[in-house]
Amino acid sequence: MTTQAKQRLIRVALGQEKADLVLKNAEYLNVFTEAWAQGDIAIADGRIAGVGSYKGETERDMSGLRVVPGFIDGHMHFESSLVMPSRFAEAVVPHGTTSVVCDPHELANIMGVDGIRYMLEATEGLPIDAYVMLPSCVPATNEDESYTALFAKDLEPLWNHSRVLGLAEMMNYPGVLSADAAVCEKIAETQKRSKPVDGHAPCLSGKELTAYIAAGIHSDHECSTFEEGLEKLAQGQWVMIRQGTAAQNLEALLPLLKAPYASRCLFVTDDKHPSELINDGHIDDIVRMAIEWGVSPITALKTATWNPAAAFGFANHGAIAPSYVADLAVLDEAYQVQMTIKDGKLVYDGQPIAIKSPEMSDELVELALHSFRMQPIDERAFAREGSLGVIGMVDGQIITTDGGLAQGVDINNDILKIASLERHHSTGHVGVGYIRGYGLKCGAVASSVAHDSHNIIVVGTNDRDMACAAERIRMLGGGIVIAKDQVIVNELPLPIAGVMTDENVQDTNEVMESLKTDAALMGVHEGIDPFMTLSFMSLPVIPTMRILTHGVFNASSWSYVSR
């Protein structure tokens, strides 16, 4: 804030000068007293000058409405929405979101440091603050095959960017526990700059958890039980309560949303698909769910506003008080968002919004559009003899179980073939195994959205359809494809690094819904997202069984079941 802006803010606060905008007769949330209060909210030059009795150049009557700080998503991946950040912002600004903390490790796995630069450029000047955590694990583990590996020296040039906030989720907890030098160097370089390190340690407990936190990990978003969350919170971590598309932990963690635990919790989405953004909302939806399940409205709202601001050290954010940034959401009695104010400007007022995409460098655009390096795919890639490991899916979770071994597809017992095809360096590596619980009765489903290395993942009832679907993805330069009888049934092209499109959320969702319908008609079980869930089957930092480009991998024993 300039000297002149500060001087004007003082004059407006004293009532000597009109504010730019005054929200009259506002019932607003005071996060400090944890109470609803009344007053006119005066805004000048993007800041709150004061709350009391004020006049403004523009005045809006808030009678019958409630004003709260803008919502903050403390951990998310733009890539999981399948759309560019500008298109994502068009979807979430109407839901009161004013800030997000993103981890661009999907793009980093595909494009290296250039993927992080791409995300920084793609989020510039949006009507949301998009903070970036530098990816800590590219690839997620040494077992993954990504475009490149990123070390502390590779991240060094990015630290001075104003929106680089810290180090993203440290998924490689085995590397932390073994005191791996490269892992410890990344953490040390982050802490040297007094920046936070996010965690990712599902089911870690006891001395192993203590050692992980001792390394300097300040948060975790993988808690799936109250006991797990409490153990991490008790040792000083912030607990990110995740309610996304594939992983939904809010209900299990509801006991944390009361004193004395709630002050150390924040809401995150992690991964959110277009249909949920359109039909349910964003952080506002988590707030409503928490309230419906018995959480105090004030606690739920603080968990979506003040708490994430405190967790990340956002100065002058997350509250309605003098000098705070005027990022606000206006709610009705049902906690539905009616208006969104960003930096003191009304950016949503009940009508659909359109956001201009930022100008981006030609070099980064070209790299993103040409990210596939692999030879044509045919059915021979999937041929295997003997027994292979079985991945057991778990309803409503992205964790899996050890399903033993199988010698072939058994549709009657819901055992299908699954494969991961390396796509970054034309190695020809194809890992093959089996999966139980997906439900497909015919054909194949393939996707280039496959965390975290984003090789092609495909599940099917036969090798020919698997090859047909995977080859179509290669030709598209990325996407989601359904094939049956060697014919493409439906597809969603994702030409930007194989994980995103520049189409808007509504159009993208229409195609996604048609894909889901086709997948259901082909037998995929009701109640699971056939693509979001599939995308996590190749992520070895989440227990237990995963499909990698070399075979079926047990993340608990850290060994291959079959290759």
| Tens digits of residue pLDDT in 453-483 | 999 999 999 999 999 999 999 999 999 999 9
Residue ranges per structural domain of the chain: 3-64, 68-317, 370-562
Angle made by CA atoms 356, 362, 366, in degrees to the nearest 5: 105
Asked if residue 527 has pLDDT above 90, the reply is no
Asked if residue 27 has pLDDT above 90, the reply is yes
Give per-residue pLDDT as tens, 80-116: 999 999 999 999 999 999 999 999 999 999 999 999 9
The class (CATH top level) of 68-317 is alpha beta
| Mean confidence (pLDDT) of the chain | 97
The reported pLDDT for the residue numbered 168 is 98
The reported pLDDT for the residue numbered 45 is 98
Give per-residue pLDDT as tens, 399-453: 899 999 999 999 999 999 999 999 999 999 999 999 999 999 999 999 999 999 9
Give per-residue pLDDT as tens, 121-153: 999 999 999 999 999 999 988 899 999 999 999
User: What are the C-alpha distances in Å from 497 to residues 7, 79, 232, 340, 353?
Assistant: 47, 10, 35, 31, 26
3-state secondary structure of 537: coil
Strands (E), 324-425: 328-331, 337-342, 345-348, 388-393, 400-406, 415-421
The reported pLDDT for the residue numbered 1 is 87
Q: For 177-180, which contacts have Cβ atoms below 8 Å and span 24 or more sequence positions?
A: 177/208, 177/211, 177/212
Query: Mean pLDDT lowest for which of 299-313, 364-378, 486-500, 525-539?
Result: 525-539
The reported pLDDT for the residue numbered 279 is 94
Reported confidence tier of residue 174, pLDDT bands at 50, 70, 90: confident
Average pLDDT over residues 257-275: 96
Reported confidence tier of residue 528, pLDDT bands at 50, 70, 90: confident
Reported confidence tier of residue 43, pLDDT bands at 50, 70, 90: very high
For the residues of 480-526, what is the DSSP string, one character each? EEEEETTEEEEEEE-TBTTTBBSS-HHHHHHHHHHHHHHHHHTTPPT
User: What are the C-alpha distances in Å from 80 to residues 102, 193, 307, 361, 500?
Assistant: 11, 29, 24, 23, 8
What does the chain come to in residues?
563
User: What are the C-alpha distances in Å from 244 to residues 146, 346, 442, 469?
Assistant: 25, 27, 29, 27
The reported pLDDT for the residue numbered 317 is 98
Q: Give Dmax (Cα) for the chain.
A: 83
Q: In this structure, is the dihedral angle defined by the CA atoms of residues 300, 302, 308 and 311, taken in order, positive or negative?
A: negative
Tell me, what DSSP letter sits at residue 230? H
503 sits in the region (left: phi over 0; alpha: psi -120 to 50; else beta) called: beta
Asked if residue 377 has pLDDT above 90, the reply is yes
Reported confidence tier of residue 266, pLDDT bands at 50, 70, 90: very high
Asked if residue 221 has pLDDT above 90, the reply is yes
Reported confidence tier of residue 398, pLDDT bands at 50, 70, 90: confident
Rounded Cα distance between 70 and 320, Å, is 10
pTM: 0.94
Give per-residue pLDDT as tens, 52-66: 999 999 999 999 999
Average pLDDT over residues 517-524: 98
Beta bridge partners of 545: 554
Asked if residue 17 has pLDDT above 80, the reply is yes
Does 3-64 carry CATH code 2.30.40.10? yes
User: Percent of the chain beyond pLDDT 90?
Assistant: 94
| Greater pLDDT, 183 or 173 | 183
First-to-final CA distance of the chain:
59
